[in-house]
Structure 1
Amino acid sequence: MSTPYDIPDAPEVLDRREGPYGEVVLRRHGGLLQIIANGCFLMDTSDGRSERRLVDAALAELDAADRRAGEEPRPAPHVLIGGLGVGFSLAHAAADRRWGRITVVEREPAVIDWHRTGPLGTLSAEALADPRTEIVEADLITYVHETYATFDALCLDIDNGPDWTVTEDNEGLYSPAGLAACARALRPRGVLAVWSAQPSADFEETLWNAGFRQVRTEEIPVARGVPDVVHLGVRPG
């Protein structure tokens, strides 16, 4: 029986597009689907446990923050997922009835199309049909700076981490100004959760300096290689 790791030598390109931020490619490599941006491997469908943990860790930290304040965990929290990717985080959030509204911000129209009408729909079709789900085609950095909406949790996964961005413009998200915009988009005691392929002590310090509290980094073992991490911080309330 074949497995997702029975990978042939050459990947098959399913779609290649010139998007607003450069080239994006969807490939099939054995049993895996892969997203490549400007020649940089972003993600594939091999695992997904850390992308799912991004959502779970945010909800657990949100409940803990409410309890520390002497409050009951808030009902139906609104989560913003930054980056649709292959859909692991969205599908996992939609499978959890604790979440209220689920807003996904994705800047690449091709990625949205690959979910709505393409091969990635096998992972996300049910979540996309969920009435709680809203897909917003926008640059995440611009969105958090300009939105008037507020959220209970921001689950961000648009790069390989704060120290390994897909485009130079993304560095602004992890800067003091970018984190201040994230804090403004959060309700009191709201949680910022940032996925990364590796820990960043500098980013932890930046979170503290931006006013976030309960800052910590959670490691998530993956099937192969070094653990992924989720950086967490709570907006005071």
Structure 2
Amino acid sequence: MKPNITLAETKAPNGARMTLVEHDGSYCIRVNGQQLMHSSVSSSEIKLGELGLARHRKLNNGTRVLIGGLGLGFTLKSVLEATGGNGTVHVAELFPEIVAWNRTHLAKLNGHLLADKRVKVLEEDVRTILAKAVRQPFDVIVLDIDNGTTAMVKTENIELYSERGMQLIFRALKPGGRAAVWSACPDVTIERRLTKAGFKVEAVPAKLYETAKRFAYMIYVADKPVEEVSPKKAKG
């Protein structure tokens, strides 16, 4: 049996040990030894990008996309495949180490995509980017931050999925825009909060890998009306 090889490691803001591990040509990122993502089970990340770009596939209209979370680059791959030549894909990744891992250890996996002229890497908190986007909103926002609503890396990430976080996403989209949010499990609270923010929401099951018999994850596809309706004010 081939051994697991630790290629790199860093510490998360909460002190957790985050490692990049390779085994027999596959890669995974672990947090305190627990698998956060793996290159052999990337079907849901790919589907996330496909669903997010479904309305804008191959349109040469300067589509602006924001991806929250780089990870192993599979969502970026599917987004780029669907984005027109004059589109722009902003990738928000809080950890410079993950960006560096993609450019080096993961270059042959998906890291080489960071050199695509349409890609702009933003090493900052996605919430900061969303707040600034009110002035120049996106057509599509695709979110796969941390472990969905169950934060493993940064506790503050939970705030992104709060009512205020959903409203922030709503305001950061153009009228008629779409958000796609990855969740590790069905989450009626997220669905309710997206709806309350003003979105029309569809819950789409996703598999671990293409040939899996069961669905493991959920992707929430949230469409903003063309005619904007002000969301209800959050109580807290």
TM-score by length of 1: 0.83
Q: Percent of pairs identical after alignment?
A: 33
Q: Which runs of 5+ in 2 are unaligned?
A: 227-236
Shift of 1:127: 1.8
Query: After the TM superposition, which residues 143-222 of structure 1 pair with which residues of structure 2 at under 5 Å, given as runs?
Result: 143-147=129-133, 148-162=135-149, 164-166=150-152, 167-213=154-200, 215-222=201-208
Whether the 8 Å CA contact 1:153–1:186 is kept in 2: the answer is yes
Shift of 1:145: 2.5
TM-score by length of 2: 0.83
More helix by share: 1
Whether the 8 Å CA contact 2:178–2:223 is kept in 1: the answer is yes
In structure 1, C-alpha distance between the alignment counterparts of 2:178 and 2:64, rounded to whole Å:
11
Secondary structure of residue in 1 paired with 2:53: helix
AA paired with 1:229? M
Residue of 35, 47, 55 corresponding to 2:49:
55
In structure 2, C-alpha distance between the alignment counterparts of 1:102 and 1:155, rounded to whole Å:
10
Does the C-alpha gap of structure 1 residues 192 and 96 become closer, same or farther in structure 2, counting only changes over 3 Å? closer
In structure 1, C-alpha distance between the alignment counterparts of 2:60 and 2:224, rounded to whole Å:
15
Whether the 8 Å CA contact 2:50–2:82 is kept in 1: the answer is no
In structure 2, C-alpha distance between the alignment counterparts of 1:119 and 1:199, rounded to whole Å:
33
Q: Which runs of 5+ in 1 are unaligned?
A: 1-6, 65-72
Counterpart of 1:31? Answer: 25
Summarize deviations over 1:34-74 as a string: whole Å, max 9, x none: 112344421011032211111111122x359xxxxxxxx78
Runs of 4+, deviation exceeding 6 Å: none
Q: What is the count of residue pairs matched by the alignment?
A: 218
Counterpart of 1:95? Answer: 81
Q: Are 2:7 and 1:14 equivalent residues in the alignment?
A: yes
Residue of 43, 46, 49 corresponding to 2:40:
46
In structure 1, C-alpha distance between the alignment counterparts of 2:117 and 2:219, rounded to whole Å:
28
Counterpart of 1:70? Answer: none
Query: Superposition RMSD on alpha carbons, in Å?
Result: 2.3
Counterpart of 1:124? Answer: 110
Counterpart of 1:106? Answer: 93
AA paired with 1:234? D
